[in-house]
Amino acid sequence: MQKFFSNKKLIILMVIIIVTFGLLAVSVSVRNKKETPPVVQQVGNDVVSLVDGVFAYPTNGVKNISSEFSDLYNTYQENRRLKSKIGDLAENQAKLKVAQDENKKLKQELKLNSTLTDYDTTNASVLSRSPSSWQNYLTINRGQTSGIKKNQPVMSGSGLIGRIVEVNEISSKVELISTDNEINDKFASEIVDDNKNNVTGVVSRFDDSTGDLVMENVNSVKGIKKGQRVITSGLGGRTPRGLYIGKVYGIKKDDYGMTNSVYITPAAELRNFTVVTVIKSTVNGEK
Amino acid sequence: MTIKSQKIIGQVVFVMLAFYLDGLIKWAFLNNMNKVNLTIIPQLMLMVLVMLTMRIDSRKMILIYGIVFGLIYDSYYFGLIGLYTILLPLVLVGIDHYKFLFTKPSVGYEISIYFISLTFIQSGIYLLEKLFRLASADVGDFITFILGPTLLWNMIVFFVLYVPFANLSDWLVSYRRGTK
Same domain, A107 and A248: no
Q: Does residue A122 sit in the same domain as residue A109?
A: no
What predicted TM-score, i.e. pTM, was given to this entire model? 0.84
The answer to whether A220 touches A259, Cβ cutoff 8 Å, is no
pLDDT at B75 over 50: yes
> What are the sequence ranges of the domains in chain B?
3-179
pLDDT class of A286 with cuts at 50, 70, 90: very low
Check whether residue A270 and residue A211 sit in a common domain: yes
Sort B15 into a burial class: Cβ within 10 Å, 0-12 / 13-18 / 19+.
buried
Chain B residues with CB under 8 Å of A27 CB are 79-82
Mean pLDDT of all residues in B6-19: 91
Q: Tell me whether strands A159-167 and A244-253 are parallel, antiparallel or unpaired.
A: unpaired
User: Looking at A74-88, A162-176, A192-206, which range is the least confident one?
Assistant: A192-206
- Smallest Cβ–Cβ distance between A130 and the set B20, B21, B77 belongs to B77
Percent of chain B past pLDDT 70, that is, above it, reads 92
> Is it the case that residue A70 has pLDDT exceeding 50?
yes
Question: Nearest chain B Cα to A50, which residue?
Answer: B20
C-beta atoms surrounding A46 within 10 Å: 18
What is the nearest CA distance from A114 to chain B, expressed in angstroms? 34
- Show Cβ contacts of residue B173 under 8 Å, excluding neighbours closer than 6 positions: B7, B11, B52, B55, B56
pLDDT tens digits for B145-157? 889 989 999 999 9
- Chain A residues touching residue B135 (CB < 8 angstroms): 133-134, 180
Nearest-by-CA chain A residue for B21: A55
- Residue B13, pLDDT above cutoff 50: yes
Find chain A residues with C-beta within 8 A of B132's C-beta: 24-25, 28
Shared domain check, A123 and A147? yes
Q: Please enumerate in sequence order all residues whose Cβ is within 8 A of that of A287, keeping only pairs 6 or more positions apart, or say none.
A: none
Question: Do the beta carbons of residue A63 and residue B116 sit within 8 Å?
Answer: no
pLDDT of the residue at B35: 57
pLDDT digits (tens, 9 = 90+) for B94-149: 998 888 787 777 888 889 899 999 999 999 999 988 888 777 778 888 898 889 98
Residues of B with Cβ-Cβ distance to A56 under 8 angstroms: 24, 27
- Residue B180 scores a pLDDT above 60: no
Q: What is the value of ipTM here, to two decimals?
A: 0.81
For residue A280, pLDDT beyond 90: no
- Do A124 and A256 belong to one domain? yes
Closest chain B residue to A41 measured between Cα atoms? B75
Which residue from B26, B77, B80 is facing A24, i.e. has the nearest CB?
B80
How far off is chain B from A217, nearest CA to CA, in Å?
22
Q: What is the pLDDT of residue A215?
A: 85
Domain co-membership, A182 together with A108? no
Tell me, yes or no, whether A221 and A264 share the same domain.
yes
pLDDT tens-digit map of A108-164: 888 776 677 778 888 898 888 888 877 788 899 888 888 888 888 898 877 888 888
Do A104 and A189 lie in one domain? The reply is: no
Q: Which residues of chain A have a CB within 8 Å of the CB of B151?
A: none
Instruction: Please tell me whether residue B9 adopts helix, strand or coil conformation.
Output: helix
Interchain pair A136, B32: CB under 8 A: no
If asked whether residues A97 and A166 sit together in one domain, one would say no
Are residues A85 and A196 located together in one domain of the fold? no
Determine which helix (DSSP H) or strand (DSSP E) holds A57, and give its type and residue range.
helix A39-73
Same domain, A43 and A97: no
Mean pLDDT to the nearest integer, A252-262: 78
Considering the domain architecture, whether residues A108 and A124 belong to the same structural domain is answered as no
| Residue contact A133–B76, C-beta within 8 A | no
A19 found inside a domain: no
- What mean pLDDT, rounded, does chain A reach? 81
d(CA B66, CA B70): 6
Domain that holds residue A107: 74-113
